[in-house]
Structure 1
Amino acid sequence: MRELARRRLLGALALGASACLLAGPAAMAQSSEQQILVDRARIVVEEFQSDGNFRQLPVYVQNAYAVMVIPNLLKAGFFIGAEYGKGVLLARDLRSGAWSDPAFFDVYGGSLGLQIGGKSSDVILTIMNQGAVDKLLSSQFKLGTDASVAAGPAGVGVGAGTTIQLGEDVYVFERGQGLYGGLTIEGTVFKPHIAWNQSYYGQPVAPQQILGGNVSNAGSAPLREALGRF
């Protein structure tokens, strides 16, 4: 009886291991750090879409060459300011309007001055021309140095009739909690996260290849669909 029970237990364990192997990369991707960030980015997009303070954001997204979504960008400091987060960059097909799969980026920066407080923000950046996209895809990109930047219009008083300004390379739209004084959006640095891009797509891949459609991951479909609703 004991031998029979032992064999049944071993058989059940083997069956469970086989099921995990058969589930393969698709099941693993659902619980990966990269997929969690992609899912959070989709939630951020949907929250911006339902927020009346960002009524003009669709116009910027519809005219953008690419969009970066940064969930939970952390800013904190006491005299020396700092920020850190991770974001995903997606490019828009100018003919069809369809969005590419996401490329992963580290976001960080720092500044000196009288700065006290802390803040956590969800951020959407609209990149308005191909030149700015090309610079962002380089090894390291800094707002205000490699591209001009401005805060996107926001507020309950900003409606569809307000004049749309699209003269800057990058516009920043931010939804945040907390108070932080003195930190400027200029000087923020964006750097491709090579390891995360490779992990998510299962092979070494550059951001240019991701945005060009050379690789894909089905897990990004909800995010791409959400952006398509702008």
Structure 2
Amino acid sequence: MSMLNKFRAGAQKAGIQASAFMKEGSSRVQSGSQAFVQGFTLPGEAEKAAKILESFLADPENPQSALNSIPKAVLQHARGLAVFQVLKAGFVFSGKAGSGLVIARLPDGSWSAPSCIATGGVGWGLQIGADITDFVVVLNSEDAVRAFSVGGNVTIGGSISAAAGPIGTGGRVEAALAHPAPMFSYSKSKGLYAGMSLEGTVLIERKDANKAFYGSAIPARDILGGRVPPPEVASRMYEVIEAAEGLDETGLPQEAYVPSGTGQHIAVDHTVFDAEHH
């Protein structure tokens, strides 16, 4: 066999081995992602959600924090909240999996019991190491809440669109709420606003975790509809939300912006969040 033919044969063999390695690696990440999600219980998710919300919402002890938080007005107008964390890791292939919960605003203004959700998947790309991103998705419409209530999957950017949510205080935030997208998405990576897009992300109802905590297969529509009392294990999460909704913004400057994909600040334009523009 000539040297050229030997080289070709070796390259073909290496290609086959590489393909097999990536296929096996992808399978491992997929199963690892599922285990990552299935390992979390509702009490753990509620505790995690409280910590995530603390990092996104203003601290009443430090009113200035409102200038770099999900606006009080956005929170007060919210019909629901989805709070979750996504772990992304990989080398050559990449895997991502996440879990969290969703709550809905009840007619009396209080919050429903939480329903567990998850997201996961595998993608290709030259990536090294791992990254954790926290997400808070503000549900601005009853249709958005209903999407999480009917069971099955919710694809963001499908029937329900999402736009990057405003941050800060003042009249421009109120203007953004005049015609909001069905969902406002907020994300943080390494503690900094990431401005990451959720387009195409699939969120799945975790019936297993709900059943394990509530004791029976209660559908999400009953949990989010107020037919299940809010559990004590989620009390810290409710306290964080209530405190942020009651923040005194008197004397704070009116500053509002949207974090871009690179984390830069883009001044808010009152048309940015119009659902017709997304």
Q: TM-score, normalised by structure 2?
A: 0.60
Aligned mate of 1:141, from 147, 154, 166: 154
Q: Would you say the 8 A contact 1:42–1:222 is kept in 2?
A: yes
Q: 2:170 — aligned with what?
A: 160
Match of 1:99 in 2: 111
Distance, in Å, in 2 between the alignment partners of 1:58 and 1:113 is: 38
Structure 1 pair 200–173 and aligned structure 2 pair: CA distance change class (3 A): same
Q: Is the 8 A contact 2:148 2:220 kept in 1?
A: no
Q: Is the 8 A contact 1:55 1:160 kept in 2?
A: no
The 3 A distance-change label for structure 1 pair 57 and 77 is farther
Relative to structure 1, is the Cα distance of residues 168 and 114 closer, same or farther in structure 2, using a 3 angstrom cutoff? farther
Gap regions ≥5 residues in structure 2? 1-39, 60-64, 246-278
> Is 1:60–2:68 an aligned residue pair?
no
Alignment check: 8 A CA contact 1:99 1:228 kept: no
Instruction: For 2:123 and 2:184, locate their aligned partners in 1 and report how far apart those are by CA, in whole Å.
Output: 20
Alignment of 1:220 onto 2:231: no
Pick from 73, 76, 85 the counterpart of residue 86 of structure 2. Answer: 73
Q: SS state of the match for residue 75, structure 1? A: strand
The residue identity in structure 1 corresponding to 2:172 is T
Q: Distance in 2 between matches of 1:227 and 1:205?
A: 25
Deviating more after overlay: 170-179 vs 120-129: 170-179
Q: Distance in 2 between matches of 1:46 and 1:195?
A: 27
Structure 2 residue corresponding to 1:205, chosen from 209, 218, 232: 218
CA contact (8 A) 2:118 2:204 kept: yes
Match of 1:124 among 133, 136, 154: 136
Using the TM superposition, give the Cα deviation of residue 109 of structure 1 relative to its aligned residue in structure 2, in angstroms: 4.7
SS at match of 1:83: strand
AA in 2 matched with 1:224: Y
What is the aligned-residue identity percentage?
27
Q: Quote the offset at 1:100 in angstroms.
A: 0.7
Question: TM-score, normalized by length of structure 1?
Answer: 0.72
Match of 1:6 in 2: none
Partner of 1:191: 204
Residue 159 of structure 1 deviates from its aligned partner by 3.5
Q: Is the 8 A contact 1:100 1:224 kept in 2?
A: no
Alignment match of 2:56 (pick from 29, 45, 48): 48
Deviation at 1:85?
A: 0.8
CA contact (8 A) 1:110 1:188 kept: no
* Map of 2:270 onto structure 1: none
Counterpart AA for 2:223: I
Instruction: Give the alignment's Cα RMSD to 1 decimal.
Output: 2.9
Question: Do the aligned partners of 2:187 and 2:195 also contact (CA within 8 Å) in 1?
Answer: no
Deviations 1:186-230 (A, max 9, x none): 011011100100111111111111112222322222222322222
Residue in structure 2 matched with residue 87 of structure 1 by the alignment? 100
Distance (whole Å) between structure 2 residues aligned to residue 196 and residue 214 of structure 1: 18
Going from structure 1 to structure 2, the CA distance change for 1:126 and 1:182 (only over 3 Å counts) comes to closer
Q: Residues 11-68 of structure 1: CA distance to partner in whole angstroms, max 9, x if unpaired?
A: xxxxxxxxxxxxxxxxxxxxx8321211111122122223555444322221111101
Letter of the structure 2 residue corresponding to residue 106 of structure 1: A
Q: 1:56 and 1:144 mapped to 2: Cα distance?
A: 21
Q: Which runs of 5+ in 1 are unaligned?
A: 1-31
Q: How far, CA to CA, are the matches of 1:141 and 1:226 in structure 2?
A: 26
Work out the CA distance in 2 between the residues paired with 1:127 and 1:111: 27
**Residues 200/111 of structure 1: CA separation in 2 closer, same or farther (3 Å cut):** same
Evaluate the alpha carbon distance shift between residue 106 and residue 145 of structure 1 in structure 2; reply closer, same or farther with a 3 A threshold: same
